[in-house]
A = this chain, B = another copy of it.
């Protein structure tokens, strides 16, 4: 399939398909953006489901594709898996590179409203509009079977994308997500810069707030969340119980599995990622 507006940077045969890295000029965030996309052999002949994976703080498009073992599963289950970068790059905004938890590599998947961030830091629109359409346009995607998942900051990104865009994603899951960013140090720091002091804006990008007012279609099985018990970030930044409690109040089904001994790393992700494929596959199979 010809890729329009895309420049291929890397191509690796992996299992029965190809792991690609492309770049493109993004109108939404105003810079060149890279992404990874695995295309299984099955997609040469027919439209296949798409999973979008959002990565955590400090990641580029490389971490997930080199460390998670996703290619074996994307090949086995016959899914296209696309993963964008975690922020705009090279915009040279003062303060975008001083901290590992804010700015480059740390866009938090929101659309900033405050200067100087509002011009480029529009990762919510980038992921859910431009990137989403770009993948559909350029790869053999079954548009009725698109799910989203992510890790840590990207778990937050996946959850808010699901809740803010009812029906756009048929399924959502997360590894160790930041569930309540407007109430934890990482999120407060970033949201103050991106949105100023208006905490109403903050809440529009907070899964624990969003689930309470969500009225869109629900997934068939509970949303799958995996959390390691030895994750150093768990009790300072992640708080899965806050999302679960908020979801319970509105009878929204979430399954949070706590895994003894696992941490926040890709070793944790590689261990449980096949269960996420099974969850999304199960959701997709029940779509008419």
**Residues of chain A having any CB pair with chain B under 8 Å:** 12-15, 19, 66-67, 69, 71-72, 228, 230, 261-263, 265-268, 270-271
Closest chain-B Cβ to A282's Cβ sits at a distance in Å of 21
In the bound assembly, the distance between CA atoms of A12 and B271 in angstroms comes to 11
In the bound assembly, the distance between CA atoms of A10 and B271 in angstroms comes to 17
Closest chain-B Cβ to A144's Cβ sits at a distance in Å of 30
User: Contact at B267–A12, with CB atoms within 8 Å?
Assistant: yes
User: Contact at B268–A13, with CB atoms within 8 Å?
Assistant: yes
Main secondary structure of the interface of A (DSSP, over half): mixed
Could you pull out 30 A-B pairs where Cβ atoms are within 8 angstroms? A12-B263, A12-B265, A12-B267, A12-B268, A13-B228, A13-B230, A13-B261, A13-B262, A13-B263, A13-B267, A13-B268, A13-B271, A14-B268, A14-B270, A14-B271, A15-B270, A15-B271, A19-B267, A66-B66, A66-B67, A66-B266, A67-B67, A69-B69, A69-B72, A69-B270, A71-B267, A71-B270, A71-B271, A72-B270, A72-B271
Given contacts A66-B66, A71-B267, A71-B270, 16 further A-B contacts (CB under 8 A): A12-B263, A12-B265, A12-B267, A13-B228, A13-B230, A13-B261, A13-B263, A14-B268, A19-B267, A66-B67, A67-B67, A69-B69, A69-B72, A69-B270, A71-B271, A72-B270
Q: How many copies does the complex hold?
A: 2
Closest chain-B Cβ to A248's Cβ sits at a distance in Å of 29
In the A-B complex, list the 7 residue pairs whose CB atoms are closest, starting with the nearest: A12-B267, A14-B267, A13-B261, A69-B69, A13-B262, A15-B271, A66-B67
Chain B residues, Cβ within 8 Å of A271: 13-15, 71-72
Chain B residues, Cβ within 8 Å of A261: 13
In the bound assembly, the distance between CA atoms of A12 and B264 in angstroms comes to 9
Chain B residues, Cβ within 8 Å of A69: 69, 72, 270
